[in-house]
Structure 1
Amino acid sequence: MLDVTSILMTVAPELWLALTGLVGVLLGAIFGDRFNSFSFKFGALALFGAAALAVLHFGGGEAFGGLVRTNTFVNFAKVITFVLAGISLVIAEGFLKRHETTRYEYALLIIFASLGMGVILSAADLMTLYMGIETLSLSSYVLAAFHRDSARSSEAGLKYFVLGALASGMLLYGASLVYGFTGTTSFAGIAEAGVTTGALFGMVLMIVGLAFKISAAPMHVWTPDVYEGAPTPVVAFFASAPKMASTVVFANILFTVFGSAMDQWQIIISIIAGLSMMIGSLGALLQTNIKRLLGYSSIANVGYALVAVAAGQEFGAAALLTFTTIYAVTSLGMFAAVLSMRRRGGMVEGIGELGGLARTKPVLAIALSVLIFSVAGLPPFGGFFGKFEVLRAGLQAELIPLAVLVVISSVISLGYYLKLIKIMWFDEPTEKFEAVDLSVMATVVLTAVVAGIVFMVFISELGTGGWATFAAAGLPR
């Protein structure tokens, strides 16, 4: 007999987001522009509610005849993803209002993008996975080009669409090959059938398609351009919530669907991880635009995350959750800090504009410094724990070359991270930034606190039973 309550709770976050999204469309149609301002609060509450529902059924379950299946591993990612999406929506309103683009469609697009993230995290079938990816992607294309009067934003949206279309095509073709050679679209069925030579080609194409989605090198192509051109609140969203969800989905598919072919995909993931770390780190050294710099930094950090994936489920699952959580939180805080870079002439993005920030905005400078030290992986900040666990996972899996590249890439990254610190604390002050929205400043400070050592110890506990270890234990063996 079907346990209806368990089924409903398994898909409760996604049902809630679909319902609130449709209600938002209805309210927008009825109230028009009068709904614009309230839509941001409405959307944030919807996303925080979805996170709460994921917590209530944290152990997971199965629904729709096996098309959807959740466990602690994916529900951990859901909670973090929905919370970050909600915060990114809260900090967006002031920016959009100043640029006269405060429209309720923005909040609804974030809700539907988050619905897509929830679906891909819950997917237990290739059809469910593809449906979720397209829901996320279509919303993301519009968000990237949301500032339609800006040539840069329109260009970012077009480039993101081209990249996304190529990735979707690769993924769909790979999925069709896997289905053709295994005779099933179910994750469990594919794992049981094993990976034949034909299915191996499909697996490789799926890996390439998913690598495009997480902006891993050499499939990163226009990622820095999208980061530079898209509206800053949109990039804050892209760099946090979808990055967390997509990376966890990537790992979940390789661990649970293609686990028997680990010897085949480990070398592919190792190459992608190594290229991502080096291209991201070296590319960031040359940047003077802070959004492009963070774009290249995100490519390098995807490389670190993929080291944990290459290490396999036993060694890498908990390390992946720890690292991606710390990075996603830190990334949101850093883009919130970029939102603070506003003067009478409008937003500024050059790293030189941070000159003397320690004297003009000491609280912002301290918080941003903590975030920079964290993402650089310096002790005793949160990012150190993330990189430590990734490095340890690589060593335990005997991926010595990757472990060496983690260290080399981290040392290279100090070149541009410490450059930002030097500009903020030692350069002559530039014109003072205007007062920032309370929500933006609160986000910068809050994420700096979270990126500190105390909170992150509870997540990682250096692999001895922390939240990430508990969540990773829920993956099927």
Structure 2
Amino acid sequence: MNAAPTLHAVLPTLSPLLPELILGIGVLALILFGAFRGERSTEGVNVGALILLIVALFVVVTQPTHRVTTLNGAFISDAFSRVMKALILLGSSATILLSRDYFQRERIDRFEYPILVVLCTIGMMVMASANDLISLYLGLELQSLAAYVIAAFHRDDLKSTEAGLKYFVLGALSSGMLLYGSSLIYGFTGTVSFPGIVSALHAGSGFGIVLGIVFVAAGVAFKMSAVPFHMWTPDVYEGSPTPVTAFFASAPKMAAVAMSVRVFAGAFQDVAAIWQQIIIFIAIASMALGSFAAIGQRNLKRLMAYSSIGNIGYALIGLAAAKEDGVRGVVIYMVIYLAMTLGAFAIILSLRRGRQMFESIDDLAGLSRTHPVLAFCLAMMMFSLAGIPPLAGFFAKFYVFAAAIKEGLVTLAVIGVVTSVVGAFYYLRLVKVMYFDEPQAGYERIPPGSAIVLGLSSVVVILFWLAPAPLVAVAGAAAKALY
């Protein structure tokens, strides 16, 4: 008699969680399928994981735009979470498309990999929708634990094993710092809820709150691979299998930035004067190190690692502005960064002959004569990362710099411009190698999955200037949801 009312009461409560529930139930089914079928299930699990991610993306896009909370306020669904979840799901889907051919050639094609990617994605989506410190930490740990495993997925490769171990040890340290900072925040405010923290901070803040924010910022900076907690990034990027590196450079970056915006622009919005200085320092240090340290790199994956550190610095300029326009700039920047990064890695994964993968800058020599389309697309990605108009990367930096200048952070914006000029050197060096150096032997045809990712990324990067209004409007709505 009471079953129907109970069911009707529960369903609306769980509706904001529907994308996560779809992935959670689906991944359990894939685990059972893989366990019963063994290695014969790999193809089916890959397809199933991709379908799950696409279905979850559809559900996220079609969810109501108004603000909804569930699980006693611990989980929130709003315009900001929807945009960031869509980016996370796109990054994870692209990773599976990029991975298939590589893992088959390396003979490490196992059904556990797409399952781990989906589990990682669930954690990242929880991070984007976390509305208290406990749900934030649970999402972070679910994402991290799966990421540690896939970093070391190539078990017979020493570099991959080392990458997984480094990521695990340093990740455990950063998680401890975040947890300690969260405990300080709870101790001095009496609540873990973000709205509750906002209310508690209306009365003012003491040294304990400042210390808690510092530790939380340290944990968040590690997940974003921002300076001075970037030390794991180049080694893990280089040692991990290349599709895993593409994954780390895309979807987890979306989740980490979403988490930082949720924490600082959400829970700590009334004490912006405290954390703004921390974010400004992290942004400047990340931009500077990302620009200067990449100059001497010859390995493409290490180069992209330093590039990602620098790009996080640029995105944090928007967060440092601590206003709606700044968050809008962050969202726009991350959308464009996702397209640029996935496009670049789709090409890096195409530099192969048989099982031999090429990852050195010198291996790009003469690519314009052996593979003109690939060379053109990679050149556009590099020009865009350098911020050269009219490509999308220029507009990404324009919006965050404009937000900083509007809030009086002119020096920060000027430093961003200067480091962009320095960073342009190593991006343009790749173009010079491709178009002016003597060609080497050609590479094999680009795999279908990489071709799809590269095509979609190239359209966004090259043609964004023709119709920027839809993305700007979506980013504006996402930022408005936080203020």
Q: Which segment drifts farther, 437-446 or 133-142?
A: 437-446
Report the alpha carbon displacement of residue 313 of structure 1 after superposing the two structures with TM.
Answer: 2.8
Is residue 145 of structure 1 aligned with residue 152 of structure 2? yes
Match of 2:55 in 1: 49
Distance, in Å, in 2 between the alignment partners of 1:29 and 1:236 is 27
Distance 1:180 1:283, change over 3 A: same
Is residue 255 of structure 1 aligned with residue 262 of structure 2? no
Q: Is the 8 A contact 1:364 1:441 kept in 2?
A: no
Report the alpha carbon displacement of residue 315 of structure 1 after superposing the two structures with TM.
Answer: 2.5
Is residue 419 of structure 1 aligned with residue 429 of structure 2? yes
Report the alpha carbon displacement of residue 314 of structure 1 after superposing the two structures with TM.
Answer: 2.3
Q: Is the 8 A contact 1:6 1:61 kept in 2?
A: no
Is residue 312 of structure 1 aligned with residue 322 of structure 2? yes
Given candidates 84, 87, 95, the residue that maps to 2:94 is 87
Residue 40 of structure 1: SS of its match in structure 2? helix
Residue 451 of structure 1: SS of its match in structure 2? helix
Match of 1:15 in 2: 21
Report the alpha carbon displacement of residue 31 of structure 1 after superposing the two structures with TM.
Answer: 0.9
Report the alpha carbon displacement of residue 345 of structure 1 after superposing the two structures with TM.
Answer: 5.9
Residue 65 of structure 1: SS of its match in structure 2? coil
Match of 1:275 in 2: 285
Report the alpha carbon displacement of residue 91 of structure 1 after superposing the two structures with TM.
Answer: 1.5
Match of 2:215 in 1: 205
Q: Is the 8 A contact 2:325 2:476 kept in 1?
A: no
Distance, in Å, in 2 between the alignment partners of 1:453 and 1:390 is 20
Is residue 363 of structure 1 aligned with residue 373 of structure 2? yes
What is the 5 A alignment of 1:78-117?
A: 78-117=85-124
Is residue 31 of structure 1 aligned with residue 41 of structure 2? no
Specify the code of the residue in structure 1 equivalent to 2:123. Answer: G
Match of 1:167 in 2: 174
Q: Is the 8 A contact 2:127 2:258 kept in 1?
A: no
Is residue 126 of structure 1 aligned with residue 126 of structure 2? no
Q: Is the 8 A contact 2:344 2:378 kept in 1?
A: yes
Query: 5+ unaligned residues in a row in structure 2: which ranges?
Result: none
Report the alpha carbon displacement of residue 87 of structure 1 after superposing the two structures with TM.
Answer: 1.4
Specify the code of the residue in structure 1 equivalent to 2:86. Answer: V
What is the 5 A alignment of 1:263-412?
A: 263-344=273-354, 346-412=356-422
Distance, in Å, in 2 between the alignment partners of 1:34 and 1:456 is 46
Residue 349 of structure 1: SS of its match in structure 2? coil
Q: Alignment RMSD, CA only?
A: 1.5
Report the alpha carbon displacement of residue 457 of structure 1 after superposing the two structures with TM.
Answer: 3.7
Q: Is the 8 A contact 1:394 1:402 kept in 2?
A: yes
Q: Is the 8 A contact 2:106 2:355 kept in 1?
A: no
Distance, in Å, in 1 between the alignment partners of 2:277 and 2:242 is 36
Report the alpha carbon displacement of residue 329 of structure 1 after superposing the two structures with TM.
Answer: 1.6
Report the alpha carbon displacement of residue 58 of structure 1 after superposing the two structures with TM.
Answer: 4.3
Distance, in Å, in 1 between the alignment partners of 2:9 and 2:224 is 36
Given candidates 67, 71, 76, the residue that maps to 1:69 is 76
Distance, in Å, in 2 between the alignment partners of 1:446 and 1:53 is 21
Query: 5+ unaligned residues in a row in structure 1: which ranges?
Result: none
Residue 72 of structure 2: SS of its match in structure 1? helix
Residue 468 of structure 2: SS of its match in structure 1? helix
- Give aligned-pair identity as a percent: 42
Instruction: Compute the TM-score of the two structures, normalised by the length of structure 1.
Output: 0.97
Specify the code of the residue in structure 2 equivalent to 1:232. Answer: T
Report the alpha carbon displacement of residue 244 of structure 1 after superposing the two structures with TM.
Answer: 1.0
Q: Deviations over 1:244-290 (max 9, x none)?
A: 11112101210110001101111110001000000011011110001
Instruction: Compute the TM-score of the two structures, normalised by the length of structure 2.
Output: 0.95
Specify the code of the residue in structure 2 equivalent to 1:140. Answer: A
Distance, in Å, in 1 between the alignment partners of 2:448 and 2:168 is 33
Distance, in Å, in 2 between the alignment partners of 1:408 and 1:317 is 22
Specify the code of the residue in structure 1 equivalent to 2:197. Answer: I
